[in-house]
Structure 1
Amino acid sequence: MSVGEDRAFGIAPSNPFVLAFAYLRDAAERSVLFWDVMRQRADEHRKRSLQTAPHVLDYAFEILRDGRNFERPVNYALLRIVPPAGEEISTTRRPFVVIDPRAGHGPGIGGFKADSEIGEALRAGHPCYFVGFTADPMPGQTIEDIVRAEAVFLEHVISLHPDADGKPCVIGNCQAGWAVMILAALRPELFGPIIIAGAPLSYWAGVRGRNPMRYSAGLLGGSWLTAFTSDMGGGKFDGSWLVQNFENQNPANTLWSKQYNVYSKIDTEASRYLDFERWWGRHVNLNAEEMQFIVDKLFVGNRLAAGHIRTSEGNAVDLRNIRSPIVVFCSKGDNITPPQQALGWILDLYSDVDEIRSYGQTIVYTVHETVGHLGIFVSSGVAKKEYREFAGNIDLIDLLPPGLYEATFEHADDAADAALVCGDWVMHCRERTLDDIRAMGGNTSDDERRFATVARVSEINLSLYRTFVQPAIRASMTPQAAEWLRQVHPQRMQYALFSNLNPLMKPIAELAEQIRTHRSPVSADNPFLLAQEAVSGQIVSALDAWRDHQEKLSESIFLAVYGSPVLQAAVGIDRTAAWSNRPEESPLHRELLQLRAAELRSHISSGGLLEAAIRGLIFVGMAQEGIDERALHALRLIRPRTEGALLTLAQFKAMAREQFDLLLLDQEAALAAIPGLLPADAGQRSESLAVIRDIVSAGGEVTPEAGRRLARVQQLFGAVGTN
């Protein structure tokens, strides 16, 4: 008898026995339905485990290049996403290439629903491609092989779009982010803007009391355990361990909240839960060499930002070689890749913003306030806001002058010039300095020494393991034993136990179907249901308290052990020297800067009306607080009225960057040369001034300094031939 039914019998719904009966009936029904969801989840996992390349892409696709057929085969492939009906794709828009992380899960999370990275790129009219992978690596494949394969993929995409207005925009999620950065450093000519989301490029970085995962390697004695796990897997590292490490960061969610949320909302939550578990529950493998590279070079060694990684051909991976704009997307709510790890490489590489500019680099970062690590890739809210703005304004990002910027988002209803806004948000790119990144918190020099000590200890322990233990493990481990260990991993067993292979689960499906037909949910104000919620909250609080205690204890042990002067001295860490992880400045770079400066000086008086207008526009814009999409949209509307219509986007970008560099090199000389670039036709000069005023005012209120600069530009445009 449900609460709705008891009124027909004249029984007061406040009767505690009636309320208890209604709750118990609902709880029993929810229990059966919950276990049926677990059965469906397990059967889906079993079905997908039989597939060679399971994925969760929500789009039709065609395979263009299969890396398994390359000279150095890899388990990666390039897919072309077939646009859904109704999506208009422009052949002249730059293509987007989305690369998913191979960090324990299968591919597809970048496009597993309409509100996703792929979905937003298609909605903005860009051709879209996806780089996915199979569940098992090819024998002998390495990280370097994968990087080379991705270079082949990008070359193929570029060849398919000879008339595109720019090189591909590449999105690298999580683990794929640092792989993309390695390739961009080695082959910068292949890339348009790069978006790296939730990617740990500076793994040592973090804040005490908030980012405990970075201590794991030190507490486990370094990377020897990675080698041991790979040896027990017969030369393969089981991605289930990576998933388990992730889940260990939030025991309350892993052990209780995720399942309880399904149980308590069984009538509405089951479908969403099963969709996510299709991805979350499909684990992939990595070769031992791949995983050892990741742990030794990135997680423990932190060598990427320092420029200490070299290819087999001896080429150094220097992130300062990247010439494309880099967009870093991170979140304060991400306990896997906090903002310090996503942005710390900038502090490792550069001393100030002028040095960023000297390398011709444009770096844009945006920091979400709350979303967690997975939310960066799977949240519909993030897709509709951040990724929609990135896709819709990728040309704005590509046209930004070199420097450091923070992308912020203002709701369109609160913005001026709403006619110039496409969508619900306005993206602003505001100039920042390295102090803005340092203000987020980070390590002291003593902390850096501790992590350097971990790296040395890890090398010693790994060497000892390889010398005294590894030969025996490899000799005794058979392929059958390795496969059995993979199958009995807790991450896999939680699925196997609840599938239809378990005879106890077979009656569940039939009983669940009967319950759905006669479902009697309890009312939301039932006191027993409210008590259930209260108990759940207490369980979560207890698990959170246990996690916080463990994290504090782990941090204390790490700081004490690796801060020991005896240990640091034993492994060769000098406590008296100032610690720095920065790569040395290249003498060749200094020489190239001098040559570039001389070349720029020779171009100060070169050009015509377009160069003069862009130089004047940049001079005024440098006094604004930043650039936003309204200015870019105004430029798109105005560009046909100027000589810029004759240039490709790449040519226009190169010209605009040269004018910016001229103003940085010698502002007064660059301004004094403007009258000599102008035509005698007063009408043309007046039209160009109108263009400058329209673009400057499109971004909202003009600052007083920008107003003064605009007046100076007007004077210069009236002084024709005085140069």
Structure 2
Amino acid sequence: MESAMTDWAGFQNYWVDAWQRYVLSLDTLRQRANIHREQAAKAVPNVLHFQAELVHDGRTLERPVNYALVRIIPPDDVPTDPAKAPIIVVDPRAGHGPGIGGMKKDSQIGMALAEGRPCYFVGFLPKPMPGQTIEDVCRAEAVFVADVAARHPEAEGKPVIIGNCQAGWQIMMMAAMRPDLPGPIMLAGSPLSYWAGVRGKNPMRYLGGVLGGTWLTALAGDLGNGIFDGANLVANFESLNPANTYWTKGYNVYSKIDTEVERFLDFETWWGSPVLLNAQEMQWIADNLFVGNKLATGQLRTSDGVRIDLRNIRSPIIVFCSWGDNITPPQQALDWILDLYDDGGEIVTSGQTIVYTMHHSIGHLGIFVSGKVATKEHGEFVSCMDMIDALPPGLYEAVITEVNEDTANPDLVHGRYLFRLEARTLDHIRAIGGNDAADERRFATAARVSEINRGLYETFAAPMLRGRVPEPVAETVRAAHPNRLRFAMFGDENPFMQPIKGLAELVRANRQPVHADNPWLAAERMTSDWITACLQASGEVRDAVTEATFLATYGSPLLQALVGLGPQQPVLRHVERDLTREAAVEHLKTRLEHRFTIGHMPEAVLRSLVYIRLPEGVIDERGFTALKMVRAAQPPAQRISLARFKELLREQFLLVCLDEERAIETLPRLLGDDAAQHKTGLDVLHRVLGATGVESEEGKRRLARIEALFDVKPKQKHLETTEAAHD
């Protein structure tokens, strides 16, 4: 090694390569700056990979917003099926510009088109409309969803909505306000329970408390002349990982300058285009969500006094989160379920279907951007969306495994992965970790301190600042934000950058990359690893200090008492009771009491399937594929619509859950006396069950019982006696 390090030729080759990479890196930053300037000059900047046409401009609504609905124009070789429910991808307005959901061919939009589904996109303009509020945006999104549904009257299902990050909680609010509109809702990296997390891993949730609450948000809005700069949100995101922000991302481009430039520029086109929010929009988000945590606990109300209760949502809810996500950890993505329900039975009786999956490592942005995630998780969810839409109510975890030679009936599997849903309980959510009662009290104390500090600011400081910052000054301050300046400073307007373009062209024409085993290159990489480790360690120390400061400050009994949280004062975490909802549940049970003997062969087959599969707690896409094949083989006049199929399956599931024995004892009443129909129904049952097999002994016992009922002619007198006993 020593002789290699003293080799003059190797040293010379390394420094030629290092210098060339430096020049090419500068040219990459120059290109990035020029792209940043071009994006800022566009009226409707976005990073969509697909062509689109405007459907509805939110600025024309009665309560105008800077959002718009566009139709994605599918490529000529990708036809769409009008019978399939359309998909709407909604991008997050969390600092960055729109388009991340369709930035690549392998993306959420790309997967939707590949499945033959009509696809729409909801994006936004860089500047908000005057007076625009979060509620206005939610109402606009409801209009957009209604527009899409009206454009697809032949679709077998309501529009499917994919909400990324911030867009997820916004869509959930919309769905709670208008539960009649959406079909399945997929939340990708979306936080709904903002205090949740585990110690030592989720430092961002402490930020509001450490800063003394949301008064700084109000100050930023006032200094911006009523506008909050989204670049501040981007800066907060980047501060979570100083190693990546200040070294790794840049070094990755420098070290792979011959292959990494295009990917880097594509991503930075989106990353470097921060948008603006009205100050009141950002203040509402900070007060009610980030610090107040009022969404999942049902403490939010619309301007006309209607409570936003997530239990109102009737559509299936799909939660996609990741253990590698430090912005929206699994606890923040899932603990809203614990805020709403005491046990899994409440989910069933409320008629809600919740599906979740947790990636083992992907980061926050990777949930929306990664092509691997798009082709696997997003691809599977899109392809199995009809199956999810037809699910009986309850809590499920999606398990996605690769198809191999041991997979039975692989011809019934769509693509390379098998999609399976396994029934879960609330204990599975609790097992991922979360706050204890003392932690909840700390966060509640921080929320009250925030209210006090915000009140002090509004009383004494805001009158001196609000409306007194000229717009040119505010615009100049925004332009000088570090997250904008670091882009602009490398542009062609900088006279020191003007020679770089020509120099880079000369370097490309005479590129001399160093050999991979050069010892000086190895030393460079070791140095990079050391810098990365140091920055990571500094970030970990900062996070530990932040957490300790928060816990000690807001865990103080004195401070808790001063803000009105004495030892006996309860902390509201669980959503309040709703007597109207409870009455509706009782009404449903009463109605079901008279549905045990209502129906014919379709109801009998579905009830039997539910009864046999219930102990196993697993729903497999192969069985659903078999059901669809049976349905497709029926004459059109006899074919049950998909909407009717969903109704029948849910009703039969609820009947089995309500009284399992009664559901099976009354099954012969549905079968009738036609032996041929008995055989047809049993054949369908065997075909669907055979797609995955019946593995458990209990499942086999139940199958044998059902087979006996299908084979025996019902005895009317016995049935009447059974019903009379139950009545």
The reply on whether 1:675 has 2:668 as its aligned counterpart is yes
- Would the aligned equivalents of 1:562 and 1:568 in 2 still touch at CA under 8 Å? yes
Q: Distance in 2 between matches of 1:594 and 1:440?
A: 33
What CA deviation, in whole Å up to 9, does each residue of 1:654-678 have, x standing for no partner?
A: 1110111111111111111111111
- Would the aligned equivalents of 2:226 and 2:467 in 1 still touch at CA under 8 Å? no
What CA deviation, in whole Å up to 9, does each residue of 1:468-504 have, x standing for no partner?
A: 0011112531111100100000001001110000011
What CA deviation, in whole Å up to 9, does each residue of 1:552-604 have, x standing for no partner?
A: 11111100000000000000113235544111221222222221111111111
- Would the aligned equivalents of 1:172 and 1:180 in 2 still touch at CA under 8 Å? yes
Q: Distance in 2 between matches of 1:595 and 1:72?
A: 37
Q: Distance in 2 between matches of 1:669 and 1:700?
A: 26
The reply on whether 1:79 has 2:86 as its aligned counterpart is no
Taking the TM superposition and a 5 Å limit, the aligned residue runs for 1:406-485 are 406-413=397-404, 414-485=406-477
The reply on whether 1:590 has 2:588 as its aligned counterpart is no
Residue number among 464, 484, 488 corresponding to 2:480 in the alignment: 488
Residue number among 701, 704, 707 corresponding to 1:714 in the alignment: 707
TM-score w.r.t. length of structure 1: 0.97
- When the two structures are aligned, how many residues end up with a matched partner? 712
- In the TM superposition, residue 13 of structure 1 has moved relative to its aligned partner by 9.0
- In structure 2, the residue matched to 1:3 is none
Structure 2, gaps ≥5 residues long: 720-727
- SS of 1:199's equivalent in the other structure is coil
Q: Distance in 2 between matches of 1:594 and 1:408?
A: 34
The reply on whether 1:134 has 2:125 as its aligned counterpart is yes
- Would the aligned equivalents of 1:610 and 1:643 in 2 still touch at CA under 8 Å? no
Taking the TM superposition and a 5 Å limit, the aligned residue runs for 1:460-609 are 460-577=452-569, 579-609=571-601
- SS of 1:500's equivalent in the other structure is coil
Q: Distance in 1 between matches of 2:274 and 2:583?
A: 49
Deviates more, 1:326-335 or 1:609-618: 609-618
- In the TM superposition, residue 625 of structure 1 has moved relative to its aligned partner by 3.6
Q: Distance in 1 between matches of 2:431 and 2:221?
A: 40
Q: Distance in 1 between matches of 2:403 and 2:538?
A: 43
- In structure 1, the residue matched to 2:654 is 661
- Would the aligned equivalents of 2:5 and 2:520 in 1 still touch at CA under 8 Å? no
- Would the aligned equivalents of 2:89 and 2:163 in 1 still touch at CA under 8 Å? yes
- In structure 2, the residue matched to 1:121 is 112
- In structure 2, the residue matched to 1:616 is 608
The reply on whether 1:331 has 2:292 as its aligned counterpart is no
- SS of 1:410's equivalent in the other structure is strand
- SS of 2:320's equivalent in the other structure is strand
The reply on whether 1:277 has 2:268 as its aligned counterpart is yes
Pick closer, same or farther for the CA change 1:163–1:151 going to 2, 3 Å.
same
- SS of 2:259's equivalent in the other structure is helix
Q: Distance in 2 between matches of 1:476 and 1:399?
A: 56
Pick closer, same or farther for the CA change 1:475–1:101 going to 2, 3 Å.
closer
Q: Distance in 2 between matches of 1:654 and 1:260?
A: 56
AA at the equivalent of 1:648: S
Superposed CA RMSD = 1.3
- SS of 1:476's equivalent in the other structure is coil
The reply on whether 1:300 has 2:285 as its aligned counterpart is no
- In the TM superposition, residue 640 of structure 1 has moved relative to its aligned partner by 3.5
Q: Distance in 1 between matches of 2:635 and 2:702?
A: 23
AA at the equivalent of 2:489: L
Structure 1, gaps ≥5 residues long: 1-11
Pick closer, same or farther for the CA change 1:84–1:641 going to 2, 3 Å.
closer
TM-score w.r.t. length of structure 2: 0.97
Q: Distance in 2 between matches of 1:532 and 1:700?
A: 57
- In the TM superposition, residue 651 of structure 1 has moved relative to its aligned partner by 1.0
- SS of 1:188's equivalent in the other structure is coil
- In structure 2, the residue matched to 1:8 is none
Q: Distance in 2 between matches of 1:14 and 1:582?
A: 65
- Would the aligned equivalents of 1:676 and 1:720 in 2 still touch at CA under 8 Å? no
- SS of 1:602's equivalent in the other structure is coil
- SS of 2:12's equivalent in the other structure is helix
- Would the aligned equivalents of 1:166 and 1:192 in 2 still touch at CA under 8 Å? yes
Taking the TM superposition and a 5 Å limit, the aligned residue runs for 1:21-420 are 21-413=12-404, 414-420=406-412
Q: Distance in 1 between matches of 2:376 and 2:535?
A: 33
Q: Distance in 2 between matches of 1:574 and 1:586?
A: 27
- SS of 1:171's equivalent in the other structure is strand
AA at the equivalent of 1:315: V
Q: Distance in 2 between matches of 1:333 and 1:475?
A: 42
Deviates more, 1:680-689 or 1:212-221: 680-689
- In the TM superposition, residue 643 of structure 1 has moved relative to its aligned partner by 8.7
- Would the aligned equivalents of 1:221 and 1:458 in 2 still touch at CA under 8 Å? yes
Q: Distance in 2 between matches of 1:452 and 1:236?
A: 28
- Would the aligned equivalents of 2:225 and 2:468 in 1 still touch at CA under 8 Å? no
AA at the equivalent of 1:264: S
Q: Distance in 2 between matches of 1:628 and 1:574?
A: 51
- Would the aligned equivalents of 1:445 and 1:578 in 2 still touch at CA under 8 Å? no
- In structure 2, the residue matched to 1:691 is 684
Residue number among 697, 700, 703 corresponding to 2:696 in the alignment: 703
- In the TM superposition, residue 404 of structure 1 has moved relative to its aligned partner by 0.3
AA at the equivalent of 2:688: I
- Would the aligned equivalents of 1:96 and 1:170 in 2 still touch at CA under 8 Å? yes
- In the TM superposition, residue 189 of structure 1 has moved relative to its aligned partner by 0.8
Q: Distance in 2 between matches of 1:443 and 1:578?
A: 15
- Would the aligned equivalents of 1:75 and 1:133 in 2 still touch at CA under 8 Å? yes
Q: Distance in 2 between matches of 1:286 and 1:460?
A: 24
- Would the aligned equivalents of 1:409 and 1:427 in 2 still touch at CA under 8 Å? yes
What CA deviation, in whole Å up to 9, does each residue of 1:233-262 have, x standing for no partner?
A: 110000000000000000000000000000
- In the TM superposition, residue 690 of structure 1 has moved relative to its aligned partner by 1.7
- Would the aligned equivalents of 1:627 and 1:699 in 2 still touch at CA under 8 Å? no
Q: Distance in 1 between matches of 2:664 and 2:421?
A: 25
- SS of 1:419's equivalent in the other structure is helix
- Would the aligned equivalents of 2:4 and 2:519 in 1 still touch at CA under 8 Å? no
- In structure 2, the residue matched to 1:7 is none
The reply on whether 1:649 has 2:645 as its aligned counterpart is no
AA at the equivalent of 1:429: L
- In the TM superposition, residue 699 of structure 1 has moved relative to its aligned partner by 2.5
- In structure 2, the residue matched to 1:5 is none
